[in-house]
Chains A and B, each alone.
Chain A
């Protein structure tokens, strides 16, 4: 079966130890997590995990079922890149003098849609949002030309293109069907 990048989305209660419960499932099957991003969701008290991994559909479907089975997990599902609008963000710290030596920054900023977050006599912090390839491309170019002092890339955040059931609707449905009357 074909190995490719899958994005798993998990909604959970905000309880202690949830991340551990999720990562254990990956550890057991010896799967590396490529990126991981956790944040509060639009619904108060519910957290959203976005996890990417390289694997086969057979494995990712089983991993998602195992995650979904944990008591405090509300919903887990997986997608491929075609189903998603997704983004990562990267920060690059470069030496100011090296950057100025190179000459004009305009070309770089235009080509990469860079934002400058901080600039002083010692260093400049550049920010680029984009897909992995795009942030990597800028890293490669800066490394070759001026050198990168520090680099950090966030985990992926993603939104599905398809019209999936909203979590709030799902929760209402569960409450109505199974909840205390």
Chain B
């Protein structure tokens, strides 16, 4: 048997065994023995000290989303754990693999309302795939192995390990075995041939098939399998917010963005197609609008890895349970080649309509104030459409999703399900660390930027080369848009008096510039992208810009407002 080591060292060795090379964290009382052990592991593990635990969780999310690896956070007990909740919940809704380790008071103090004690497992159980409290050093290797296996396998998600202080200090003989099997958990259900046959029969009989691409394709690394499937059947496809970049923007069968602020054609065609093929998406209300009028004319095929998603919102005619990596090739093998020429051509009418009514004035305005769309489009082009796009939440997010172009997979990091303002800055830090060779452009509004603005300190200390763009309209823009449209222009607490953002960046020794005129924009973008250093670009855009098209919440997907 091996020599005994402390629980904290056993924990570090477990992380190394799982291939962890990056941790986002913040030290504190109940996790100090682990941080002390971390001090000895600086050759193996790069620890990024964030300025707030919420920042650590979003950074880990950004890291996980671009790299496909598990994001790791290490924080203390009590308020640190509660600060991490937003990121844990965000990761749950967006299926992002995280392992969040929270310190906890010693086992003897559990349940006594000890200093900085909070019921972390109780709080996080509803918003994690698994939450476990390590009370004895003997459980460390087992729990860490299980945590990483659960976080990354099947439909990924966050796992919380609540690590009691006594277990960090007490000694244990260390013996690590990776986890590959849990008898009560089947991460990737086996493909059922009968389900494949039923789905293929519908697709082969379809005159107007239409595919909806969700994040399941990216999580399964099934981008090539998707392309082969769509090309063989000549099936036009559209993407959900989190499915962005699973297809490149210039892929001919890519017909655009679905949902509330998506493109006109894919939303209209949802209610015109005869077979709707949903791939790794969950029929979120922001995609479907009113379920009673959603794709009622179509036969519905739903591919998903999670049995609980099938039939949750839309009852499919042909469910296909499994990983897209397995189910797509199984479908493609039996798919008849088809052309669907007329059907595909029929999208064009709506593409032209949207261009004339919305895109032209948003992306290519010749006079007046600057618009969000034109800034995003210019920056996307200036990066050769190769950058990773990170967004905050609100108008900036919808505009960025609409007007940024994608040429590579895993190129959008955004808070889709939870819609967390303040996600942008820390997620961009994590994305840059997870994809150091790529340009990372983070778009934020003036509101969200100030929710996690303290992370500029992390960017300064670590010299993380993120390109931050504030689309500043001096309003909480999306709420203002709803107030204008649905609340009789009663702008209840949405206007903001903002600080000098560039001066704040300068105080953090981050370069930046502010643009007031269209004529200055190109030069400012070029200055921002001239090197790989952090940069803040503040663009003062029109105060009352609106994101169109828009399907009002709960309306039919064809009830599209164009703002004309």
Contacts and interface: CB of A to CB of B under 8 A. Distances in A.
A158 interface: no
Contact of B184 (A13, A20, A24): A13
B307 interface: yes
Given A21-B125, A28-B126, A71 B184 contact: yes
Contact of B150 (A17, A24, A62, A71): A71
Contact of B308 (A13, A28, A68, A180): A68
Given A71-B182, A177-B190, A24 B125 contact: yes
B153 to A, nearest CB: 10
B167 to A, nearest CB: 15
A68 B189 CA distance: 13
Interface string A67-88: 0110111100000000000000
A175 B180 CA distance: 12
Contacts of B130: 71
Contacts of A24: 125-126
Contacts of A61: 311
Interface string B162-192: 0000000000000000001111111000100
Contacts, number: 50
A71 B180 contact: no
Contacts of B181: 178-180
Interface residues of B, number: 22
Contacts of B307: 65, 68-69
A65 B306 CA distance: 9
Given A17-B125, A20-B125, A74 B184 contact: yes
A99 B312 CA distance: 55
B183 A175 contact: yes
Contacts of A154: none
A57 B130 CA distance: 28
A149 interface: no
Residue in A21, A69, A179 whose Cβ sees the most chain B Cβ within 10 Å: A69
Contacts of B2: none
B499 interface: no
Contacts of B121: 17
Contacts of A21: 125-126
Contacts of B312: 62, 65
Contacts of A65: 307-308, 311-312
A179 B308 contact: no
Contacts of A71: 129-130, 150, 182, 184-185
A48 to B, nearest CB: 14
Interface string B187-227: 00010000000000000000000000000000000000000
A116 interface: no
A72 B311 contact: no
A61 B125 CA distance: 21
Contacts of B126: 21, 24, 28
Contact of A69 (B125, B190, B308, B311): B308
A171 interface: yes
Contacts of A9: none
Nearest to A73: B184
Nearest to A18: B125
A151 B268 CA distance: 61
A45 to B, nearest CB: 11
B563 interface: no
B158 to A, nearest CB: 12
Given A17-B121, A21-B125, A24-B125, A74 B183 contact: yes
A21 B129 CA distance: 11
Contacts of B184: 12-13, 71-74
A17 B181 CA distance: 21
A178 B153 CA distance: 13
Contacts of A13: 184
A66 interface: yes
B111 interface: no
A20 B125 CA distance: 8
A100 interface: no
A177 to B, nearest CB: 7
Interface string A12-45: 1100110011001000100000000000000000
A178 B187 CA distance: 10
A33 to B, nearest CB: 16
A152 interface: no
B308 A178 contact: no
A164 interface: no
A72 to B, nearest CB: 5
A61 B182 CA distance: 24
Contacts of B180: 180
A1 interface: no
A171 B307 CA distance: 19
B368 interface: no
Contacts of B190: 177
A62 B183 contact: no
Nearest to A27: B126
B291 to A, nearest CB: 12
A23 to B, nearest CB: 10
B125 A178 contact: no
Contacts of B308: 62, 65-66, 68-69
A68 B185 CA distance: 9
A129 to B, nearest CB: 32
A105 interface: no
A180 B133 CA distance: 25
A31 B538 CA distance: 49
B312 to A, nearest CB: 6
Residue in B129, B133, B181 whose Cβ sees the most chain A Cβ within 10 Å: B181
Interface string B105-133: 00000000000000001100110011101
Residue in B181, B183, B185, B307 whose Cβ sees the most chain A Cβ within 10 Å: B183
Given A24-B126, A65-B308, 5 more contacts: A62-B312, A65-B311, A69-B306, A69-B308, A72-B185
28 contacts: A12-B184, A16-B133, A17-B131, A20-B122, A21-B126, A24-B126, A28-B126, A61-B311, A62-B308, A62-B312, A65-B307, A65-B312, A69-B307, A69-B308, A71-B129, A71-B185, A72-B184, A72-B185, A73-B184, A74-B183, A171-B183, A174-B183, A177-B190, A178-B181, A178-B186, A179-B181, A179-B183, A180-B181
* Pairs A-B, 10 closest by C-beta atoms: A65-B308, A74-B184, A24-B126, A69-B308, A71-B130, A71-B185, A179-B181, A180-B181, A72-B184, A21-B125
